[in-house]
Amino acid sequence: MGFAHNNVLHKNHFRKDWQRRVRTWFDQPGRKQRRRTARRSKASLLGARPLKHLRPAVRGQTIRYSSKIREGRGFTLTELKAAGVGRKKALGLGIVVDHRRRNLSEEGRDLNVARLKEYVERLLVFPRKASKPKKGDCTGDDLKAETTRTQLVLPDPYVHEKPRKITDEERNFKAYRALRDVGISPQDIKKLQEAGLHTVEAVAYTPKKTLCAIKGISEAKADKIISEAQKIVPLGFQSATEIHMRRSELVCITTGSKQLDTLLGGGIETGSITELFGEFRTGKSQICHTLAVTCQLPTSMGGGEGKCLYIDTEGTFRPVRLLAVAERYGLNGEEVLDNVAYARAYNADHQQQLLLTASALMAESRFALLIVDSCTALYRTDFNGRGELSARQGHLGKFLRTLLRLADEYGIAVVVTNQVMSSPDAAGAMFAGNDKKPIGGNIMAHASTTRLQLRKGRGNTRICKIYDSPCLPESEAQFAILASGIGDPEEEE
């Protein structure tokens, strides 16, 4: 009698020998391990067979991993056809085939075709019967040749250029000649240089109203200058891959402390603004003095191979500290001092004017670092009260925008120090953790790429915290102020 519908099964008498009719698989992990061991032992007995199958070289699909090359699932039919390898033949030679994959670029296809050809040229196929070799099998001395079981390595994704000397054409190249060749008169070019625009990039980045404010530059002439400058400097969209490749070539300047460099991902990043803020005696000026020397080191030692511009607003610059740091790295003290261009700023307008002079110096020589110590000290004295708050923030925003433009044009690292103020709201709280805030407001916060908070530790030890960064996690590191500059706390002991 059969069973219908969802009724209760009657007379369901289960016996103790139910294991004979039910198959279990409780030893599945053990079976998997035994199969893997059996495959390895079988591969070792087969002699010269490669340990791994040949797979194509592909790039990751995401922006983060698109610059790296990894092994793909299998070669496409187009790649096999271009290499002269049949599909069935490839399966017998240890070449993995993926009929679903498609080639989206000629570079990737050519790379895998060359990989297949190199594999086939180096491949030795032993006959199953030495007395009856088939077509394509090795015979004679090839059977006694030395073999290896290692697989082909993946190609290097980066094209490395050998160091070369700068040609006379590159040394004598003047970007303003490009503007002169398209019809911009030398008089107009001189006016642009007097206004602080020493490169074509500076002209392309400058708004139209700023050019019209220059005496002798009309609106029609400003349109022509901007149009010709933007033809030389690309200002359109670029792929994220190009931006990633360009950022991978950025140089980081060491701070002298390994722990601090690890916190910053290698050191002070070029092409951006790094802000140091904290109370007095937290090591802001000491870090600036150390960076003024380390930026002159070669890139292999964590330097930038360039000079340093130092704008001092508080009168804390001491050349003796530079000599001590130079002695630590084995540099000539006189040459180190000659490579540091120092200027003292006495008011906010003078501080802004010094950036125009700095732009002219950068156009003539190689600079790697620009230091402003301190960036906001003069603004606290030149602008008083809430009535001048709007004017102060506008002037500060213009100064920071000029710093960012210099970092973009010349690829230098910009380091600014900032003062702090007490927060009245946090001071009244019982469990207030940190009642000190950097001054400058949102203008300063948005202009700085990386913000580092410094505070005091025990003895000569100081603590640096990532306060804000687009790519670095919030973390802390300790460093020490030594007689030879900034270093790790262990060096002091």
At residue 6, the pLDDT reads 81
The whole-angstrom separation of Cα 104 and Cα 203 is: 39
Place of tokens 């050809």: 117
Q: Which of 265-274, 329-338, 380-389 has the lowest mean pLDDT?
A: 380-389
Q: How confident is the model at residue 416 (pLDDT cuts 50, 70, 90)?
A: very high
**Cα–Cα separations (whole angstroms), residue 403 to 120, 212, 247, 313:** 57, 22, 19, 16
N- to C-terminal Cα separation, the chain: 92
At residue 331, the pLDDT reads 87
Place of tokens 């804000």: 468
At residue 431, the pLDDT reads 52
Q: What is the mean pLDDT of residues 73-98?
A: 91
**DSSP calls for 404-473:** HHHHHHH--EEEEEE-EEE-HHHHTSTT-S--EEESSHHHHHHH-SEEEEEEE-STTEEEEEEEE-SSS-
At residue 175, the pLDDT reads 60
Place of tokens 């970092």: 407
Torsion of CA 199, 205, 206, 207, to 10 degrees: 160
At residue 184, the pLDDT reads 73
Both structure tokens of 54 = 């040949």
At residue 429, the pLDDT reads 52
The whole-angstrom separation of Cα 307 and Cα 358 is: 12
Q: What is the mean pLDDT of residues 456-460?
A: 84
CA nearest to 419, candidates 289, 345, 340, 313: 313
Rg, the chain, Cα only: 34
Reduced to 3 states (helix: H, G, I; strand: E, B; else coil), residue 485 is strand
Both structure tokens of 245 = 């490749």
Both structure tokens of 391 = 């004017």
**Cα–Cα separations (whole angstroms), residue 335 to 285, 300, 323, 423, 457:** 21, 19, 10, 44, 34
pLDDT over 70 percentage in the chain: 86
Place of tokens 């079988």: 42
Query: Hey, which residues does 57 pair with through a beta bridge?
Result: 71
The whole-angstrom separation of Cα 279 and Cα 13 is: 83
Neighbours of 152 (CB within 10 A): 15
Give yes or no for residue 183 having a pLDDT over 70.
Answer: no
Q: If residue 275 lies in a helix (H) or strand (E), which one and from where to where? A: strand 273-278
Sign of CA dihedral 252, 258, 260, 263: positive
Higher pLDDT, 472 or 137: 472
User: Per-residue pLDDT tens for 417-439?
Assistant: 998 887 766 555 555 556 678 88
pTM here is: 0.61
**Which stretches does DSSP call E strand in 48-163?**
57-59, 69-71
At residue 182, the pLDDT reads 64
Give yes or no for residue 305 having a pLDDT over 90.
Answer: no
**Residue 19: what are its φ and ψ, rounded to 5°?**
-65, -20
The whole-angstrom separation of Cα 481 and Cα 4 is: 87
Q: What is the mean pLDDT of residues 445-461?
A: 87
Give yes or no for residue 455 having a pLDDT over 80.
Answer: yes
The whole-angstrom separation of Cα 187 and Cα 225 is: 13
Query: Hey, which residues does 424 pair with through a beta bridge?
Result: none
At residue 158, the pLDDT reads 66
Q: What is the mean pLDDT of residues 99-125?
A: 89
Q: How confident is the model at residue 148 (pLDDT cuts 50, 70, 90)?
A: low
**DSSP calls for 321-371:** HHHHHHHHTT--HHHHHHTEEEEE--SHHHHHHHHHHHHHHHHHS-EEEEE
